[in-house]
Amino acid sequence: MFSRPHWSFSSINQYLRCPLQFYFQRVLKLPQGPTSSNLVLGSAVHSALAEYHQSIQDENPASPDHIRKTFLDSWGSREQGEEIEFSKGATRENCIAQGLGLMDLYLQEPPPTNIVEVERRVLVPLQNSEGEYLETPLVAVADLVTRNEDVLRINEFKTAGRAYSKFEVETSLQATCYVNAAVQLYDEMAAVQFIVLVKTKTPKVQRLNTSRTETDLGRLGDLVQTVDRAVKAEVFYPVESPLNCSNCPFRQPCREWGTSSMKATVPKAEIDERCEVAAC
C-alpha cells in the first residue's frame, strides 16, 4: 500500500530475532516454501474478526454463520494460492475445527463497543530519545481501536498454543509500535489489550492489558534507528536456537551462509539498493 520505504513491527522483530533470516527474506527475497498451518489459521481468524468488528461499527452485526463463512473463505483462498504445511499430528480438518471453535468462543462474549477503527493501516513518523525524527517511518495495523470511558484502547488479537504471560505483553515491541502510532494519529497515549485465543485442549480467551510511556517511545526510536544503520551496513548473521531454526524456511541457505557461492548470489551494488527498502 505504501510505496516509500518503511519499517513495521514484523520487519523490526525479524531483524532482532535473526538478522540472517531478515537478509534471506527481505533483501535476497529467497523462496520461502510451504506456509505453516498455524499462520494460515491465524490469518483466517483475523479476517473473520475484522468482518465481525466492522459489522458492529456499521451497526449491522453479522451473524455467527456469516463470520464462520468468512473464516472458511479466508482459509480456502490461502489454500488456492499456497502450499500449507501441517505440524505433526495436525490435519486440515482439525485445524479448521480448531479455528471455528476459537471464533465461536469469542462470539459468545459481549461484543466490543464504541469502535473507532478496524484494521486501519497507517504510516507514522518515529522519534528517537533526543526528539529527532527518523528518516524512515513506521507502518502499523491495529486490529481494533475502541474508546470507552475516555480511554483509547488498541486491541491486538493473537492465536497461540499457550497462554501469554504478563511479562510478554509488558515487554512487547508490538505494543510500543501501536502506542507510537496512537500518539501520532490521536495526540494521546493509548492503552493496549492483547486478546489471546488460546488453542489448548479446552480453548479460552485471555485478555492482558499494558501501557507505555514517552520514554518507551523514545527507546523504540533509538532501537529502530540502530537496526536501520545495521541493515544499511549489511550486518547480517545467524542467531541459531530451537525457536528460530525449527520452522525456518531458510535452513539450507543458512548452512551455506559465508561461502563464496552465497556471497555471489546477488551483486553487492544490488544488495546495497535492496537494503534501502528491505524494511518494508
Q: Residue 196: what residue type?
A: V
Give, for 128, the enclosing helix (H) or strand (E).
Answer: none
pLDDT at 43: 96
pLDDT along the chain (280 residues), means of 10: 86 97 95 91 97 98 97 95 88 95 96 96 96 96 95 97 96 98 96 96 95 98 98 95 88 83 57 65
Residue 135 burial (10 A CB sphere; 0-12, 13-18, 19+): exposed
Q: Give residue for cell 544503520.
A: 229
Question: Could you tell me which residues are beta bridge partners of residue 8?
Answer: 139
pLDDT at 87: 84
pLDDT at 93: 95
pLDDT at 253: 92
Phi, psi angles (nearest 5°) of residue 164: -80, 155
Using alpha carbons, select from 85, 70, 8 the residue that is nearest to residue 40: 85
CA–CA separation, 84 and 38 (whole Å): 9
pLDDT at 71: 97
Task: Report the helix count and the strand count for the chain, using DSSP H and E.
Answer: 12, 8
Structural domains in the chain, CATH included, are 35-107 (no CATH), 115-223 (3.90.320.10)
Helix (H, G, I), strand (E, B) or coil at 49: helix
pLDDT at 1: 63
- DSSP secondary structure code for residue 165 in this structure: P
* Pair 106, 205: CB distance under 8 Å: yes
Q: What share of the chain is helix, strand, coil (3-state, %, to 5)?
A: 50, 20, 35
